[in-house]
A and B are shown apart, each in its own frame.
Chain A
Amino acid sequence: MDSLTKSAVRNLFRHPWQFVLSALGIAVGVALVVSIDIAGHSSSKAFSLSMDAVAGKATHHIIGTSEGIPDSVYRNLRVNGGFRNTAPVIETYASIPGANRRIFKLIGVDFFAERPFRDYLSDAGSSVDGELKLLLTRPKSVAASEQSLKELGVSPGDSIVVLINGAEQTLHISASLSVSESNRAALENLLITDIASAQELAGKPGRIDLIDVKAGDDRELQKLKEFLPADYEIQKSGARSETADQMLEAFNINLQSLSLLALIVGLFLIYNTMTFSVVRRKTVIGTLRAIGVTSGGIYRMVLAEALVIGAAGTVAGLIAAYFVSKVLITFISQSINDLYYVVSVREIHVTPLIILKGAGLGLIATLLSSLKPAHEASRVHPRAAMMRSGQESDLLAKIPKFGITGLLLMLAGGIILLIPSRNIWLSYFGILPVITGFAMLTPLVITGLEKIFSPALRSMFGITGKIASRSMIRNISRTYIAVAALALAVAATVGVGTMISSFRDTVIEWLGSRLNADIFVSAPNLISRRNDVVLPDELADKIRGVNGVTGINFYRELEIYQDGKKIHLISSGVSKRGFDGFEFKDGNPEEIWKEFTGGDIIVSEPFAYRYDLDAGSMLKLKTDKGMKDFRVAGVYYDYASDQGLVAIYHNEFRKHWDAKGLSGISAYASDEGSIERIKNDIQNLDTGGQKILVRGYKFLRDTSIEVFDRTFLVAKALQALAVIVAFVGIFSSLMSLQLERKKELGILRANGLLPSQLFGIVSLQTLLMGITAGILALPLGNLLAAILVYIINKRSFGWTMQFSAVPSIMTEALILAIVAAVLAGIYPGIRMSKTSPANALREE
């Protein structure tokens, strides 16, 4: 290491506070981004592993109609077609009742067809005999990995009670599959049963979900296709994982971007630290320049210094990310289970790419934020060596110009944000100039506020007040960065908080109009919003017949795989009354109702956004009778699915799809007093063994909101972390600022200022800065929230939301800024007041 670098690095350790705090800013940012990346990756990995576990070495899957694949189709393939590399699969989920809600994937296979597909089955059970007999001949027998059995505390011969499609089932553990490195991942959360048991457990006798295929070439596939009914699809085996990943994309990006906000705050902290560090060392830099260090040398020195901070922060952040992700993963997998698909994430998956991305992000952020301080340092004139101390730069004179640049930047950001693009990253890229521009407005605000505060402070605190407020202006080039960093950090919490709150209000309002029935009947389900369990068709009539029921709505949800995408189709047997709960983007609801009942479809807003549809557009859907075009009658507001929904009138649905059964039924009661009785009557109806849930409006609304809140737990957690970064930001900025003023304060002390007065000045000043930052954070926070609501969310999901500013969040933000500022002032205040003036005056 050359002496210059040594000097730069030592400089950091001479000011460990600033070093640690600004590294912490980066660390928190990196930790958040990376841990979300890890959590997202781990859940998608867990999903694809569970898919792989089922897919095995299958290259393709045969997908049947909405009703699955009849046994006879498979028989025909094997007995008449001689297609050996095929295997039937039934998939369902079994959840273990209890606190931890562990979910297993239950697959039903024909063990005799497994050899080409699933390795782990042959690895398994080499120490046991007679288990195949049990699996085949004893209904509801399952095999699971010895690991899973251990975790469940059971062994072969025992039974466990699980919930499958809402019905309690007693499974007999017949085999323990030994775990090896190669099959460990595949066997995790997997229960394997015979296909006969699976059909019985899943309530699908005579039906297979998928046929796995191992095909050597396209010719083979073509031959296979000829043996299948015309509307069957042969899908590549990775397709389902891909679909799942696509589903999660927007969800993940949004989480990521929230964490980027934290990183931006971290970026400001580094900027702050480096700027201080440069200002403080003007003499040293001048000397170096005088004795022959080139300006490039200085530039590199400052960058090197920043990089050390960035590297330290990045490393710390990466380590922290590992632990944070363990916490996040619980939240995220919960949300995924609520919203997308069943997955049980039991393991953290970190890839080199994630680490690399995180490290790159941390270092690049550091570099970016230190470019300007480095540039400034390189421009320090050698003359500075002859000056007594670093003097306040001439920012004061430039404040108006500075402010105008800020405004222009914000404008540029606004223009970027308004570019009609669906690229979420472009949108986020637009936020950056808005934030930077806003930060540049800070000096203007500070000087303005000072003019307001100064007389009041003067009269309240006398000279102490005057010094406190004046020195804010005198050190404007330093104070403004501290205030801006603080304001930004607080604004991030306001932004996220307000966005969530706006979203929540919108959803609650929507729930209020959509859930306009009194009683809701459904089958219990693992995924809160998706209903793959079906109620018998007759139940609708039975409910209609219950005394006191004045009308019903019912629906059937179906997932269609088409062109590698999954489409949620709702067959809606909605009454006019129920239909009135739908709100449309435009068009006359009465007209839409007519068209809808006449065979047109309606699509939810996110769906319309994703598929670029509008009223009048045509949409091709894969029906059980082949592809068919449907006309879109209208686009309705819906917040139930970010993937979007397509609704079709029930009568029309029946014409094109074979799927039987209903996913949910809702009923109107004649009067409020009879609701409880009707619920009871419905509960007592004969449902043919299917367990049903009968719930009231309030319950359903509350559970929906609960799901919403769970989904945003991660965002809330991020918000909390943003608060921490904010605090770190305030603390670090204010502290370095105060420590920087050691000499100035020493002079005051030498001139007779009491330690308590000095403490007063420091506290008062940080308080002023806290208030200023808080005031600044409010408009910026709401601006960020508006961007998140109107641009980011809209572009990510296609949702229109009502923006609502939240006074309580703003109050909290103000308090946060002030409390943090005051807290941050305490340490330097005490330290300054305790330091003897002689020490303070001493040359560094």
Chain B
Amino acid sequence: MKQYLLILTILLVTLFTGCSDEKDSLNNKGISLSKAMGDAGGENFSKAEEVRRFTFPEDHGPHPDFRTEWWYFTGNLKTSDGKEFGYQFTIFRTSLTKEKPERISDWNSNQIYMSHFAVTDISGEKFFFDERFSRDGNRLAGASAKPFRVWLEDWEITETGGETLFDLPQIRIRAVSENAGIDLMLKAAKNYVLQGDSGLSRKGGGTGNASYYYSYTDLATEGKVTVRGESHSVSGKSWMDREWSTSALSNDQAGWDWFALQLEGGTELMYYQMRKTDGSPDVYSKGIVVFGDGTSKLISRSDAELEVTDSWKSSSGISYPSGWMLRIPSLDAALKITPSVKDQMLDVSVKYWEGAVRVEGLLRGADIKGRGYVELTGY
């Protein structure tokens, strides 16, 4: 669900890792840059045009025929004495060309990797984030299905060798930045769900403006979170999104608000609302609800109603929504969503807000609580 983000970021990388002033000015030119991406840079990449059959573990690995792809993890974790943490760890892949030219040097690359890593110290109301880039050349970064491994230098997602559950090997995620680090073991507690139309998730009008998209919405998580040198043993739940595509956004789309909620009793809910440039929600907004037994149900734009109840202003003056009421009448759901920490903005190549949230409200008429992650882009 981060295609827009990725496209912009890759463009910035193209600009030789620009300095901050230029970033701002480029941010303003974001739309036109995304336009420039519309034709996929003249490369004949594959496009997500029709429903495909997913096979595992192969599809956990990279799909270099497609322009972009990511491995996305978020989760809410807790220590035994009640300290709460949130984390986000994503590795993006993008292809520069469809074909990789034959060259002598091992540095030869047509794949660029980017990673975002953030830890929210909810109890301490602190937020740490970092961003990295690398090429796949010289095996500095890369992805493989067998064994499952996605890495960007010393940040990595690897299979642990444990039993594969619901087609997903058990995973270890390791990332360390200046002030925060994670070392987490994840195993699937529920099968994956295919998003959209059997995994073909349409993001805009026109053929190919779609992605292949599946999610593991319930990953039992255990391990360590380090914040400013202090290590905490934690456990909790993670969420994994896998998505690859070649082009997704259409010209009139400005960004999105995306919700991944893990509710007590084993229900997970994902909903994203595409925002048009005029601020109105796009018809391509949609979601899914996953029940405790692993069954799921799509949520369409008309099923949901999203109301912003609060806002937060970043230090650079951008105002973000910071509190919502999500109503899904068909599920008899009214969920109040509140950021665990107000400031969870990633000031990276492209600024966006992504953070841990608390959920409270009603589901099927009963009181319910939960945790989740929200991503806000295009503000």
Contacts and interface: CB of A to CB of B under 8 A. Distances in A.
Interface stretch (A26-34, A74-82, A572-580): A74-82
Given A82-B176, A195-B105, A124 B16 contact: yes
Contact of A129 (B15, B103, B138): B15
A252 to B, nearest CB: 38
B137 A132 contact: no
Interface string B10-30: 010111111100100010000
Interface residues of B, number: 36
A136 interface: yes
A68 to B, nearest CB: 13
Contacts of B134: 78, 112-113
Interface stretch (B80-88, B107-115, B183-191, B261-269): B107-115
Interface stretch (A115-123, A527-535, A781-789): A115-123
Contacts of B109: 136-137, 196
B293 interface: no
A123 B14 contact: no
A133 interface: yes
Interface string B136-158: 01111000000000010110000
Contacts of B101: 137, 139
A82 B154 contact: yes
A168 interface: no
A493 B289 CA distance: 97
B348 to A, nearest CB: 12
A136 B96 contact: yes
Contacts of A137: 96-97, 101, 109-110
Interface string A431-471: 00000000000000000000000000000000000000000
B153 A79 contact: yes
A205 B140 contact: no
User: Per DSSP, are chain A's interface residues mostly helix, strand or loop, or mixed?
Assistant: helix
Contacts of B106: 71, 196, 205-206
Contacts of A122: 16-19, 22
Given A123-B19, A130-B41, A112 B104 contact: no
A751 interface: no
A79 B152 CA distance: 8
A205 B108 CA distance: 11
Contacts of B14: 129-133
A126, A128, A206: most-surrounded residue (chain B CB, <10 A) = A126
B105 A79 contact: no
A188 to B, nearest CB: 18
Contacts of A114: 16-17
A196 B140 CA distance: 13
B154 A205 contact: no
A111 B17 contact: yes
A586 interface: no
A200 B154 contact: no
Interface string A181-197: 00000000000001111
B16 A196 contact: no
B107 A71 contact: yes
A78 B113 CA distance: 14
Nearest to B102: A139
A111 B16 contact: yes
Contacts of B13: 111-112, 132
A199 interface: yes
Contacts of A196: 103, 105-109, 137
Nearest to B18: A122
Nearest to A177: B16
Contacts of B11: 129
A125 interface: yes
Contact of B15 (A78, A80, A125, A199): A125
B213 interface: no
Interface string B54-68: 000000000000000
B16 A112 contact: no
A829 B47 CA distance: 99
A110 interface: yes
Given A130-B41, A196-B105, A200-B105, A75 B140 contact: yes
A136 B16 CA distance: 12
Contacts of A205: 104-106
B36 A136 contact: no
A121 B135 contact: no
A179 to B, nearest CB: 14
B33 interface: yes
Contacts of B176: 82
A19 B22 CA distance: 61
A485 to B, nearest CB: 62
Contacts of A199: 104-105, 107
Contacts of B19: 122-123
Given A125-B15, A137-B96, A78 B107 contact: no
B192 interface: no
Contacts of A71: 106-107, 138
Nearest to B14: A132
Contact of B107 (A79, A123, A194): A194
B139 A79 contact: yes
A199 B138 CA distance: 12
A110 to B, nearest CB: 7
B72 interface: no
Contacts of B137: 110, 195-196
B324 to A, nearest CB: 36
Nearest to A123: B19
B353 interface: no
B48 to A, nearest CB: 22
A774 to B, nearest CB: 67
B14, B19, B105: most-surrounded residue (chain A CB, <10 A) = B105
B129 interface: no
Given A82-B154, A130-B41, A196-B108, A139 B140 contact: no
B107 A195 contact: yes
Given A111-B17, A129-B14, A195-B105, A136 B135 contact: yes
B103 A79 contact: no
Nearest to A205: B104
Contact of B33 (A110, A129, A197): A129
B302 to A, nearest CB: 39
Nearest to B111: A136
Interface in A134-188: 136-137, 139
B71 to A, nearest CB: 17
Contacts of B133: 112
Contact of B17 (A74, A75, A121): A121
B264 to A, nearest CB: 38
Contacts of B16: 111, 114, 121-122, 124-125, 132
A540 to B, nearest CB: 25
Interface string A51-75: 0000000000000000000010011
A128 B18 CA distance: 12
Contacts of A123: 19
B139 A75 contact: yes
A740 B106 CA distance: 83
A391 B22 CA distance: 82
A78 B105 contact: no
26 contacts: A71-B106, A75-B139, A78-B134, A78-B154, A79-B151, A79-B154, A80-B154, A82-B153, A110-B107, A123-B19, A126-B18, A126-B22, A128-B15, A129-B14, A129-B15, A132-B13, A132-B14, A132-B15, A133-B14, A136-B135, A137-B101, A196-B105, A196-B106, A196-B109, A199-B105, A199-B107
Q: Which 6 A-B pairs have the closest CB atoms?
A: A196-B107, A82-B154, A196-B105, A199-B105, A132-B14, A205-B104
Given A79-B139, A133-B41, 8 more contacts: A111-B16, A121-B16, A124-B16, A126-B22, A136-B96, A136-B110, A136-B112, A200-B103
Interface of A: 71, 74-75, 78-82, 84, 110-115, 121-126, 128-133, 136-137, 139, 194-197, 199-200, 205-206
Interface of B: 11, 13-19, 22, 26, 33, 36, 41, 96-97, 101, 103-110, 112, 133-135, 137-140, 151, 153-154, 176
